[in-house]
C-alpha cells in the first residue's frame, strides 16, 4: 500500500459527540428492536468511525509498515457473537479498531476502543502468543534480559505506559530460574500496554495524533520483540 500524505491537523476527522451519545444509548437499549429503530444514527456513527480510522491509518503509514486494509476493514463489527456467551446482548457498546504490522519480521499490533464514560483506551503488544512464540520470548530473555529491561525501565516508556500488562503465572514458569532478575516478565503469558482516555480527550481535534504519538512511543518495544521472535538464540534468522 502506498503511503498517504497526512491531512493538515485542522481537517483530520474527529470523533463526534453523536458517536459517543449513540454508544451510550446503545448500552441502555441493547436489543435488536431499538437498534433497528436507530439504524440511521448507527450509520452516521459508523461513517464517523470509518473516517477517523482512515485518517489514523494514514498517520501510521508514515512510520510503520502495516497489513494493507482500509479504515472500514480495520474496524471490528459491532455485532457480538453470543453463541458461547451467557451475555446474550446482541451488540457491543463500544467501537474498536486494530492495525497489525506487516511481514513476518514485524510483530505486534495496535488496538483502540472508543467507549463513553471515560472507558476509551488503546492497547499495543502481544496478547496470548502461541506456546512456541512464548517459549522463544522467555528463552531470549534468559539469554540476555538487559535490552528489554532497558526499554521497560526507560523514562519514555514509564511516563507513557507505566508497565507491561497481561495475564501472569503466580510463579516462575516451570524450568525457569525463580531468582532470575527478569522473573516478573517471564511470568507473563501476554505482554501489552494500555492507556485510558477521557471523553474530552476522545472528542478533541487531535485525538488521532494522540493515538499515533502513543503508537510511536511503543515502537522500541515492538521492534525488540520482533527481533527476538524472528531469530534463534544464536542470532540466526528464522525465516
DSSP string, 11-51: GS----HHHHHHHHHHHH--SHHHHHHTHHHHHHHHHHHHH
Domain count, the chain: 1
pLDDT at position 85, please? 83
Whether residue 122 contacts residue 112, with contact meaning beta carbons closer than 8 Å, is answered with yes
Q: Residue 120 region, left (φ>0) first, then alpha (ψ -120 to 50), else beta?
A: beta
Q: Reply yes or no on whether the pLDDT at 5 is more than 90.
A: no
Residue 1 has pLDDT above 60, yes or no: no
User: Has residue 234 been placed in a domain?
Assistant: no
46 lies in some domain: yes
Strand partners, 111: 98, 123
Please, which residues have CB within 8 angstroms of residue 139's CB and are 6 or more apart in sequence?
Answer: 233
Residue 236 included in any domain: no
Domain assignment present for 72: yes
Q: How far apart are CA 216 and CA 16, in angstroms?
A: 25
Average pLDDT over residues 106-113: 96
- Mean per-residue pLDDT for 207-213? 97
Contact 227, 148 (CB under 8 A): no
- Cβ-based neighbours of 79, under 8 Å, separated by 6 or more: 90, 91, 92
Question: pLDDT by residue (tens digit) across 171-200?
Answer: 999 999 999 999 999 999 999 999 999 999
* Per-residue pLDDT at 237 exceeds 80: yes
pLDDT of the residue at 6: 55
Cα 168 to Cα 186: distance, rounded to the nearest angstrom: 9
Residue 235 domain-assigned? no
Contact 60, 99 (CB under 8 A): yes
- Answer yes or no: is 238 within a domain: no
Q: Cα-atom radius of gyration of the chain, to the nearest Å? A: 20
**2 falls within a domain:** no
Q: How far is CA 97 from the centre of its chain?
A: 8
| pLDDT value of position 12 | 82
Q: Which domain holds residue 116?
A: 10-79+87-101+111-229
Does residue 3 lie within any of the structural domains? Answer: no
- Predicted local distance difference test score (pLDDT) of residue 82: 84
pLDDT band at 165 (very low <50, low <70, confident <90, very high): very high
pLDDT of residue 42: 98
Amino acid at each position: 500500500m502506498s503511503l498517504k500524505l497526512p491531512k493538515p491537523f485542522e481537517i483530520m476527522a474527529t470523533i463526534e459527540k453523536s458517536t459517543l451519545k449513540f454508544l451510550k444509548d446503545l448500552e441502555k437499549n441493547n436489543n435488536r428492536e431499538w437498534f433497528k429503530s436507530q439504524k440511521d444514527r448507527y450509520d452516521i456513527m459508523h461513517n464517523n468511525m470509518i473516517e477517523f480510522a482512515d485518517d489514523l491509518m494514514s498517520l501510521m503509514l508514515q512510520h510503520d509498515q502495516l497489513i494493507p486494509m482500509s479504515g472500514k476493514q480495520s474496524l471490528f463489527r459491532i455485532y457480538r457473537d453470543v453463541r458461547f456467551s451467557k451475555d446474550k446482548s446482541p451488540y457491543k457498546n463500544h467501537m474498536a479498531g486494530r492495525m497489525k504490522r506487516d511481514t513476518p519480521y514485524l510483530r505486534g499490533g495496535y488496538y483502540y476502543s472508543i467507549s463513553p464514560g471515560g472507558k476509551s483506551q488503546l492497547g499495543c503488544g502481544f496478547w496470548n502468543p502461541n506456546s512456541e512464540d512464548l517459549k522463544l520470548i522467555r528463552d531470549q530473555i534468559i539469554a540476555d534480559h538487559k535490552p528489554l529491561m532497558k526499554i521497560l525501565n526507560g523514562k519514555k516508556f514509564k511516563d507513557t505506559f507505566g508497565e507491561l500488562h497481561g495475564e501472569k503465572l503466580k510463579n516462575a514458569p516451570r524450568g525457569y530460574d525463580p531468582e532470575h532478575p527478569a522473573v516478573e516478565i517471564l511470568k507473563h503469558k501476554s505482554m501489552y500496554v494500555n492507556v485510558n482516555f477521557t471523553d474530552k480527550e476522545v472528542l478533541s481535534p487531535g485525538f488521532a495524533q494522540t493515538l499515533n504519538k502513543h503508537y510511536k512511543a511503543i515502537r522500541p518495544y515492538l521492534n525488540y520483540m520482533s527481533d527476538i521472535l524472528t531469530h534463534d538464540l544464536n542470532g540466526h534468522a528464522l525465516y
